[in-house]
Structure 1
């Protein structure tokens, strides 16, 4: 029994490297291409948004290509993989929560789940990318 387990180890170890996974390789693509495709929802303000974009640029070594627009349009582009990140005012209980990952409030506050606040949104399942974003949000 012990011998069989030892034989399995070389096959089990490579799978450890893939956690957390990025099925669409967002973080790798951003770092390798040097381009970060960000959508900013109209009316999101500039100060905290610009600060957060700068933080993500510094963390990834990529330059942001900004596209501004309406939330629904940008979130659809995010879901389709045409954007890497969307920044805008979203409630934690947004209907988009089923389709995209939403960060904590970018200012570090903890508002009611139904109150829209400035957040970052990323494609669901892109866990390495999501971890990079989550680590960049101000901690209270």
Structure 2
């Protein structure tokens, strides 16, 4: 009986100490959401017909507009990098980018190298495709904030 009581007390003490740590879920091991909020949002964009046009000095299109509005919601300034999908995913892995957009769908081959949002068919120019955005692996608070924004803007 004493051993059982000790076990219950130990579990209770561990639970209280974890709650007292101020731990929130989801978290960002590299603090992406915290660093971007009020700072710079480093975004990679790959050309995608109807979604992201990179033929001018600054990228344009529905994905660019969504990113700009998301950045505004975080009081962040967007820094754009235009390149190929492979290069942008590599930059995301190296912590040189916070977000990557383009013609990525929910069938993306990059799922093992990046965090991926849910698919969104309501993005103008998607033409029925389920478009996703990529974030650094493990940056779950940032991913959650982005998905909450996208849910509101374009539906799920």
The TM-score, its normalising length taken from structure 2, stands at 0.73
Cα distance in 2 between the residues matched to 1:50 and 1:101: 19
Paired positions, count: 134
Contact 2:121/2:129 (<8 A) preserved: no
Partner of 1:121: 134
1:40 aligns to 2:40 (yes or no): no
Write the mapping of 1:35-114 to structure 2, written as runs, cut at 5 A.
35-43=40-48, 44-45=52-53, 46-108=60-122
Residue 24 of structure 1 deviates from its aligned partner by 0.8
Which structure 1 segments of 5+ residues have no match? Answer: 110-114
Label 1:69 to 1:5 Cα distance change in 2 as closer, same or farther (>3 A): closer
Cα distance in 1 between the residues matched to 2:14 and 2:106: 43
Contact 1:48/1:106 (<8 A) preserved: no
* Partner-residue secondary structure (3-state), 1:134: helix
* Partner-residue secondary structure (3-state), 2:79: strand
Q: Deviations over 1:80-130 (max 9, x none)?
A: 110000011113122211111222345526xxxxx9654311012100000
Label 1:12 to 1:102 Cα distance change in 2 as closer, same or farther (>3 A): closer
Q: Which has the higher strand share?
A: 1
Residue 42 of structure 1 deviates from its aligned partner by 2.5
1:25 aligns to 2:31 (yes or no): yes
